[in-house]
Amino acid sequence: MIKKIAFIIRSLPYKTEASRLAMTHAIASQTVEIYLEDGQNVEPIVALVGDGVMNGLKSQSAKCYGVSTLEQHTKNGLLLDLPIMYCKEDVERLGLTEDSLIMDADDLGGDMKARIVPMSEINAALATATHLQIF
């Protein structure tokens, strides 16, 4: 049985560890099977909402801190086929566009595409999840 777990990212990146932890916990779903029975698995859903959409901005550089960027984590998530959704209302409110956001991991060889969807669609996805977590 597959259970969906939703990771809802509302925090801005870098000041706190919250959004980074959301992505690292979601990516940990890749190895969760070692603790589960045959046929069991976790399917993460990642939703960037509110100010959290800023985590997906292109051209981040964290060289000054010597840490990986949230851009890289977003790409890694897509590379591992995690469904990633941006809240359309927040993307528009903050003056962002599809061109300004990480929408794929093509350069890493990934197939999954991120989607910009209305909050109503994100809520519909959350309704299908067994558990929700806000970061």
Partner 1 sequence: MKLAVFKSDFRTGGDMLDRLSAEKLGIIFVGNGIYHAAVKDAGAADPVLQKSANFYVLAEDLEVRGFNASQVPGNVKVVTYDDVVDLIFNEYEKLVWV
Partner 2 sequence: MGKITIGAFPGLVGSLSLDFAVKLSEAAVKKGHSVDFWVSSNGTMLSKKGQRAFKDYSVLYKTLEELFKTGRFQACACEACAEARGYHKEDTMDGWIRKSMDWYLASCYNADRVLLIGGE
Binding-site ranges for partner 1 (CB under 8 A): 8, 10, 49-50, 87, 119-120, 122-123, 126-127, 129-134
128 binds partner 2 (CB under 8 A): no
User: Phi, psi at residue 104, to the nearest 5°?
Assistant: -160, 175
For the chain, how long is the longest CA-to-CA vector? Answer: 46
Integer Cα distance of 7 and 121 in angstroms: 15
Among 14, 24, 104, 125, binds partner 2 (CB under 8 A): 24
126 binds partner 2 (CB under 8 A): no
- Sequence-separated (6 or more) residues with CB below 8 Å from residue 40: 1, 2, 3, 33
Least separation in angstroms between residue 39's CB and partner 1 is 23
SS3 for 52-99, per residue? HHHHHECCCCCCCCCCCCHHHHHHHHHHCCCCEEEEHHHHHHCCCCHH
Of 100 and 133, the one with the shorter C-beta distance to partner 2 is: 133
Residue range at the interface with partner 2 (CB under 8 A); choices 18-26, 69-77, 89-97, 100-108: 18-26
- Angle, vertex CA 85, rays to CA 135 and CA 108, nearest 5: 100
Identify what 123 binds: partner 2, partner 1, none; CB under 5 to 8 Å per kind: partner 1
Contacting residues toward partner 2, per CB under 8 A: 3, 5, 10-11, 16-18, 21-22, 24-25, 28-32, 34-36, 40, 42, 131-135
